[in-house]
Structure 1
């Protein structure tokens, strides 16, 4: 069975709503899913899963969510070779840097050896298009299942 982990941080509830919809898509694909809302969860846990989904809001003018800072720093040294990953997040276009947390987390996952299998999902504030979020999760889960079946 394919096992995925979804780790997210949410301050206003927007990213939590996205995470729930992404999770719904993963489950529709028939994949096991573990969800951790920060500060719960340890980075080392990421190594135990076939696929990794990270979600964060972007704070202010392009900063990673406060709840993600320790987790992000503690990811150093992980070996994510062979892991597939994708990132989602919420942001506000009123700021010059829109949804930069998605880019920051994507780069970190790549540095640690993970393969990014789909472009990050960037949502303005809260998800108006629920299907977009559901399909993001479902598509990710299908890609991980497909690769796992080949191995």
Structure 2
């Protein structure tokens, strides 16, 4: 999982998703996008989760831009993937960063196994549970995919 968080909302989502994944017994590596300068690392994993808040009127956060552009150099064929992020309904494009990440993952050949998970601003208790469930479903889908190969 690679994510960007400015106010801590997307980081809180990432932690809840990680907890959901670990509840299934699966392992996960979690990195802030600032600590992962090379998207080629994504090729080492069967499953990919990307998280980002939406900036301004529908852009990726600045700290994700270079990583996003450099994803054009990676082959994610047959990788299971999903995206998530905190959003603000004040802006005209709700959660556009999640949509942009999903589009990039698909463009690079990944197989989206979930719709993007979008949470309004700070995750409330029910949002945290939704994030955990998102993680559990992601891990279970990955395990199911591996068993059927």
Question: TM-score by structure 2 length?
Answer: 0.96
Out of 4, 9, 12, the position equivalent to 1:14 is 9
Separation of aligned partners in 1, 2:90 and 2:74: 35
Aligned to 2:135: 137
Distance in 1 (alpha carbons) for counterparts of 2:63 and 2:18: 20
SS at match of 1:62: coil
Counterpart position of 1:49: 45
Aligned residues: 146
Answer 1 or 2: which has greater helix percent.
2
**What residue in structure 2 maps to residue 3 of structure 1?**
none
| Aligned residue number for residue 24 of structure 2 | 29
Q: What is the CA distance between 1:148 and its match in structure 2?
A: 0.8
Deviation at 1:67, TM superposition (A): 1.0
Give a deviation string over 1:39-91, Cα, whole Å, max 9, x none.
11120000000100000000011010111001001111211111000000011
Shift of 1:98: 0.7
Unaligned 5+ runs, structure 2 = none
Structure 1 position 9, deviation (Å): 0.1
Distance in 1 (CA, whole Å) between partners of 2:116 and 2:69 is: 21
Distance in 2 between the 1:143 and 1:121 partners?
Answer: 16
Q: Which residue of 1 aligns with 2:67?
A: 71
Give TM-score scaled by structure 1 length.
0.95
- Following TM superposition, the consecutive aligned residue runs of length 4 or more in structure 1 with deviations greater than 4 angstroms are none
Three-state SS of the structure 2 residue aligned to 1:113 is: coil
Name whichever structure is richer in strand by fraction: 1
For residues 63 and 94 of structure 2, the distance between their equivalents in structure 1, rounded to whole angstroms, comes to 18
